Amino acid sequence: MTTFLEGLRCRECGATYPAEARSACDECFGPLEPAYDYGAIASAVTHETVAAGPPSLWRYAPLLPADAAARIDLGDGFTPLRRAHRLGAELGLPELWIKDETRNPTHSFKDRVVSVALSKAREFGYDTVACASTGNLAHAVAAHAAAAGLEAVTFVPAALESGKLAAAAVYGSTLVEVDGTYDDVNRLCAEAAGEYPWAFVNVNLRPYYAEGSKTIAFETAEQLGWRAPDHVVVPIASGALLTRVATAFRELHAVGLLDEEPHVRVSGAQGAGCAPVADAFAGGAEDVFPVRYPETVAKSLAIGDPADGMYALREIHSSGGAAAAATDEQIVEAVGLLARTEGIFAEAAGGVTIAVLAQLAASGVIRPEETVVAYVTGMGLKTLEAFGDRFRPAATIQPKLEALAEALPGLRPDDGAGGGA
């Protein structure tokens, strides 16, 4: 078998479908997700077979819905899991780890979902791929399509960060700005998917696309020595990343890659100007209500009507986690905190994760004895506009020693002090 995928199953009513390009159930309109033969996977996969695989997310191919033999792989995934000693000391979390997704080929975790989705698109015979994006997904789709010789059409809301626009266009994709929010863009793409013979990675290929997110958790467990963490903090946009992270730890146990049943507390992070899941959690609501006009510096998380929001909320509750929101000021400060303590420059979404991590640690929701993993999902060079004048040169001087001494009087060496030998 090239894949252990059995087909698609409705998350709500359990109706089953063949593995085809569709995302919703005909019976109840619920979302579809892949169904696997876990017994067969368990007999085929071991720690040794994973270790012998490629240094990318495709080392977990048996747990993915696409044919690995025809994969589109730019070296996606297998990013560092860094022990965050200095940040952990500041937050009172001695067992803190950072999963650094800035190291992906296009510098965000979206490379994971795109690698899987475009591999499936090519398997289905599509020659054009498309997406609705807040920036990072458009970048990843354009890059992978270029490498695979596929045409790409990417749709983004207007007024996106200039770096993300350039990054999506440079690969030769057709980049379309839509005058509206991400939710407007997504609705347009849902309509277009019925009219254009394209593989919309987060519309008609959404069940396969979302599965790529699981690999961030697979790697976490492997890099911790095949054990699950106690607590993870995950940024929420559509909610798919959080739900798939939670699912992934359970799947690893189901196929025998984790000996102990995992009990991972899953917490979610959002920007205060677009926090439908965090607001629902804070208000004790069972449903997630859309935010009509999102406004946050974390534009990659600005999805007012998250497709997986309700499922993310359920995972948070059932795992014993929490959800919280960070203001724009807290987000920018958290980007600086992560950079100065761990040398990782995160985009605004990463600032959301770290700001909420700090909140939950301060309130006691995250406990000092827990092994905690925070997911930093994109690089800061993508969202420079978000930081304004916060990170600027300390001084502008003439090339003279006296000018240096005048500009930085507190850093002048003591008289008679020698240099390092």
> Does 36 fall in a domain?
no
Specify the number of domains making up the chain: 1
Average pLDDT, the chain: 95
Q: pLDDT per residue over 113-128, tens digit each? A: 999 999 999 999 999 9
Domain membership of residue 218 (yes or no) is yes
Q: Is residue 340 part of a domain?
A: yes
- 265-271 and 323-326 strand pairing: parallel
Residue 247 forms part of a structural domain: yes
At residue 160, does pLDDT exceed 90?
no
Please check whether residue 416 lies inside any domain of the structure. Answer: no
CATH code at position 267? 3.40.50.1100
Q: Is residue 370 a part of any domain in this protein?
A: yes
102, part of any domain? yes
Confirm whether 215 is domain-assigned.
yes
370, 312 Cβ separation under 8 angstroms = no
Residues contacting residue 242 through CB under 8 Å, at least 6 positions apart? 234, 236, 266, 268, 308, 312, 315, 316
| Contacts for 318 with CB less than 8 Å, ≥ 6 apart | none
pLDDT for res 288: 97
The answer to whether residue 170 scores a pLDDT higher than 60 is yes
Residue 360 vs residues 1, 104, 184, 270, 338: alpha-carbon distances, Å: 45, 27, 33, 13, 16
Does the structure show a pLDDT above 50 at 1?
no
pLDDT digits (tens, 9 = 90+) for 62-116: 999 999 998 999 999 999 999 999 999 999 999 999 999 999 999 999 999 999 9
Give the predicted TM-score (pTM) of the model: 0.94
What letter would DSSP give residue 211? G
> For residue 329, what are the domain limits?
81-107+210-387
CB contact set of 412 (below 8 Å; sequence gap of 6+): 405
